Chains A and B, each alone.
Chain A
Amino acid sequence: MMEWHLKTPLSGEDVKKLEAGDIVYISGEILTARDEAHARILEFAENGEELPFSLEGAVIYHCGPLMQQTGEGKEGKPEWKVVSAGPTTSGRMSKMTPPLLEAHNVRAIIGKGGMKNVSEALKDKCVYLAYTGGCAALAAELIKEVKTVHWLDLGMPEAVWVLRVEEFGPLIVGIDSKGRDIFAEVREKAEKVFSEIKS
């Protein structure tokens, strides 16, 4: 079990060395995206439209943060503060992730609970990092700045928030870029136990 401290944007080399079970801390920029943002990113890709943000080497955070507007800010742009920002259930994004990775070089996905049938799409390009679910107050402490927000029309939880983080973690490599998936392994074991104790 290795410990890594990575800076964004991430390269293919950065993530290929990570193995399932390793611990990772990320510094730099991460973007929140959940159900609605994923759907819109895919819509843009389908229409060949350019996104208002770059996903090249990006880290996507499955998170619908609780934010508070703190002021009007410069040039009428509102200023925001993160109140609470833990990971949301990644499983809901399982189906939309392979086409998203097809369209963009996202290098890491942070979430909770794991994802189904994405190992193939992650291969040699991306990793899934598990952050402790519900640890939203802890996560908020590691988010140092709200850089900007896109697609606020989707609502606070569904918008794309661009966040500057420092040593964001500990993140556990749940699915690595070589096809190892801790969640699938745990599930397989649980099913085996169940088949033995089932009445």
Chain B
Amino acid sequence: MSSKINRETFIRSLVDLLRKAETELSDDVVNAIRKAEAREKSPVAKSQLQAILKNIEIAETHGVPMCQDTGILIFFVELGSEFHPGFDLEAAIREAAALATKEVPLRPNAVDPLTRRNSGDNTGKGIPDINWKLVPGKQLKITVAPKGAGSENMSALRMLNPTEVGSIKDFVLETVINAGGMPCPPLTLGVGIGGSFDKAARLAKEALLEPLDIPMSEFEKEILNAVNALGIGCMGLGGSTTALAVHVKTAHCHTASLPVAVNIQCWANRHASIVLGGDE
């Protein structure tokens, strides 16, 4: 019952959340990059990883976006069934995106897909992309994951035959080879398996939100080792770490289908969350 929040405060917290996501990487990501730098043998790849670590430090210290591609803004909202904001949450999120574009600032990236006209404030038809999930409880959890185009453009989805479970790894490897240095490795790979055409892609994206320091399954490790054996390395210049982690998410699917989506994430695995309301 005490789950009402103030609209202005809400928008302000979202702008702060966006600033945090764009300027600071979480410890699990930074630690994974540090480890990659420490074990890298190729001097070129090592120099690239060192530049990335220096860049992360400058961005955080100066409070500026770590990458000029501040992405399109993707929100994941977990709305408690007993949380009643008392205002239009979607409109408030859109307002926060436009405000953050001015204040952080963010690069205006949202364009009409056909005319290519830029809206100027990172909002538009269907943008920011807001994913709603109704959950039990009194809280509201919002995660923002800004996604750059370099890595998104290299992502892929394929409808495999149901008998091709053994080829899932090959599809991931093909996707990574085609991507080469373009998506700014070292990567995080989100693999969505099952569901439907669109569900697989959403699972892959959700997999990218997983922390990098959780233990991987045998299947995830097998894919990761194969990806790193390719030797593409940091920025595609050759080296021992092409990916930092592989996370797989599955859903049941039609007996005649095997959708597989590979969502590629660059080294700047940006996301931040806040939890509001409730007293659980």
What is A's interface to B at a CB cutoff of 8 Å? 1, 21, 23, 36, 63-66, 68, 83-86, 88-91, 112-114, 130, 132-138, 140-141, 155-157, 170, 172, 174, 182-183, 185-187, 189-191, 193-194, 197-199
Contact = CB atoms under 8 A, between A and B. Distances in A.
Contact of A88 (B47, B150, B174): B150
B235 A132 contact: yes
B274 interface: no
Interface stretch (B129-137, B176-184, B245-253): B176-184
Nearest to A186: B238
Nearest to A68: B105
A106 B44 CA distance: 25
Contact of A194 (B116, B150, B174): B174
B169 A199 contact: yes
B236 A183 contact: yes
Contact of A198 (B68, B109, B170, B267): B170
A190 B230 contact: yes
B66 A114 contact: no
A130 B234 CA distance: 12
23 contacts: A84-B107, A88-B69, A89-B150, A112-B235, A114-B182, A130-B235, A132-B52, A133-B235, A133-B267, A134-B55, A135-B55, A138-B54, A138-B55, A156-B107, A157-B109, A183-B180, A186-B181, A187-B177, A187-B180, A187-B236, A194-B170, A197-B173, A197-B226
Given A63-B68, A83-B64, A91-B182, A137 B105 contact: no
Given A135-B51, A136-B67, A141-B58, 20 more contacts: A64-B107, A65-B107, A66-B70, A83-B68, A112-B235, A113-B183, A114-B182, A132-B55, A133-B181, A134-B184, A134-B267, A137-B62, A155-B108, A183-B181, A186-B231, A187-B232, A190-B177, A190-B230, A190-B231, A194-B177
A112 B183 CA distance: 9
Nearest to B54: A138
Contact of B107 (A36, A66, A133): A66
Contacts of A141: 58
Nearest to B22: A84
Nearest to A190: B230
A135 B65 CA distance: 10
Interface string B149-193: 110010000000000001101100110010011111000000000
B48 A156 contact: no
Contacts of B177: 187, 190-191, 194
Contacts of A66: 65, 68, 70, 105-107
